[in-house]
Structure 1
Amino acid sequence: MVSLRDCSMPIVFVVTSLRSCQSVSGSIGSAIFCGTKNSNNRIIHKCRLQLSQNSLRAQVQVGMPMPTEGHARALQLLQSAPRPPQLVVFDLDYTLWPFWCEMYSARDEFSLYPESQGILEACRYRTLLDLSRSWALQLRALSNATKPLLRKDFPWLSLSEYTLVHVCQSRELNIPMAIASRTPTPNVAKAFMKKLGWPGLFDSVQLIPASSGFDHHSAQKDTAHFPAIKRELGIPYSEMLFFDDESPNISKVTRLGVTSILVPSGMSVDMLRKGLEQHAKNGK
């Protein structure tokens, strides 16, 4: 958790529940900050406010990085998908990033495919449904109650005279994701994922090395990685969408009933579109 003082302006308060806000005292509930980032360029997407007659206390949880290339198009595809997958599984090497991990050390600099990060962010995206019209009276009362406290405790917010607290309800897309990689250097892969802020982003991470060292074709994802993912998450193969850069993996995992898409040039929004379309067809 981080302090409100760690955030940069502008701040927009978005309250998701006013059920207990009958007076100035009491709990307001959950809230969301929109369009706000701290010094690490990370969106502040969730907080909890406690309002009393004397003070306003808040805690905020740091969320995903600010949207990157491909994010908007990927989000639109996922939100409009006729049959969204219950789980999206990615290979790492030459799928999310353009190299083999074994060619690097954990201290090296590296890069992703241009649209990889945006696609991952889209899978975890939260949208807001504005309910302010139906909450007009509570909205005005809450605004009048909070502005003096905010001005006193957080003068750097520079709230205008007519600042309102927007009443919203969060609606999560939040598609689970997993990693299935047979890298012979899982320590490097873990280090790179940590640098990217990915720990906790994926619901299952299967870094199962190839059985014969650097022979990438000896690790069988259909008998090792995917059974482990299924045991851990309990999601049927038919509800999974998988992206990989090697044809043998695609063929074998497809036989499990997983919608599997070959990405010969790495992950992109176009490949995501192809995968979502194929997943919808497979469900008919």
Structure 2
Amino acid sequence: MGSQPPQKPGLVVFDLDYTLWPFWVDTHVTPPFFLKGPNIVDSDGQTVKHYLEVPQVLEFLKNEGIPIAAASRTSEISGANQLLDLFGWDKFQRETGLPYTSMIFFDDEERNIRDLSKVGVHCVFVKKGVDMKLVKDALLEFPKKFHPHTK
């Protein structure tokens, strides 16, 4: 009896810039960031927001029991980590030793999609930020890569 292919990914990885939030953290905002009332602001007092459905997406994946991680090529690592903390998303992050074939990766840059697809990661191109439909569609498509003829 052969092993059953996974129905769910072992890990969902999100790029940050223009995937979870609508800016480049190393260019469009000025770290460090602060809580100011209900908002997060940068050092210039500019309010920093994420894409609308991102908290709902992260909670959904957590409730599905799917670990979540962030990956970014940003040069502003401390600022990106600070935003993950201030948005309360650091609680979702996990480190795993999982194979690439068990991962889904969401990114707005085609070069990253191309590179990671080559090593077996199920990649999803993000055009205008992550939302629930994009994530749910990806979760439906994921098992099909193990059974390409499944409708």
Q: Shorter-chain TM-score: what band?
A: 0.7 to 0.9
Q: CA deviation at 1:275?
A: 1.3
> What stretches of structure 2 of length at least 5 have no aligned partner?
1-5, 34-41
Please say if 1:113 is aligned against 2:4: no
Determine which of 129, 134, 140 is the counterpart of 1:271. 134
What's the TM-score, normalizing by structure 1? 0.43
Aligned residue in 1 for 2:98 = 235
Total equivalences in the alignment? 128
> What stretches of structure 1 of length at least 5 have no aligned partner?
1-81, 126-172, 205-232
What's the TM-score, normalizing by structure 2? 0.79
Q: CA deviation at 1:196?
A: 1.1
**Partner letter of residue 48 of structure 2?**
F
Q: CA deviation at 1:273?
A: 2.5
Please say if 1:198 is aligned against 2:89: yes
Distance 2:68 2:82 in 1: 19
1:94-173 matches, within 5 Å, as: 94-102=18-26, 103-104=28-29, 105-107=31-33, 108=42, 109-125=47-63, 173=64
Q: Please list the CA deviations of residues 138-197 of structure 1 after superposition, one character each: whole Å capped at 9, or x if unmatched.
A: xxxxxxxxxxxxxxxxxxxxxxxxxxxxxxxxxxx3211111101111111111111112
Larger strand percent: 1
1:43-54 matches, within 5 Å, as: none
Aligned residue in 2 for 1:184 = 75
**Partner letter of residue 183 of structure 1?**
T
Distance 1:198 1:247 in 2: 25
**Partner letter of residue 255 of structure 1?**
K
Aligned-residue identity in percent: 38
Distance 1:112 1:91 in 2: 13
Greater Cα radius of gyration, structure 1 or 2: 1
Coordinate RMSD, CA, aligned? 1.4
SS at match of 1:114: coil
Higher relative contact order (CA 8 A, sep 6+): 2
Q: CA deviation at 1:272?
A: 0.9
Q: In 2, are the aligned partners of 1:116 and 1:267 still within 8 Å (CA)?
A: yes
Q: In 2, are the aligned partners of 1:237 and 1:258 still within 8 Å (CA)?
A: yes
1:240-251 matches, within 5 Å, as: 240-251=103-114
Please say if 1:90 is aligned against 2:28: no
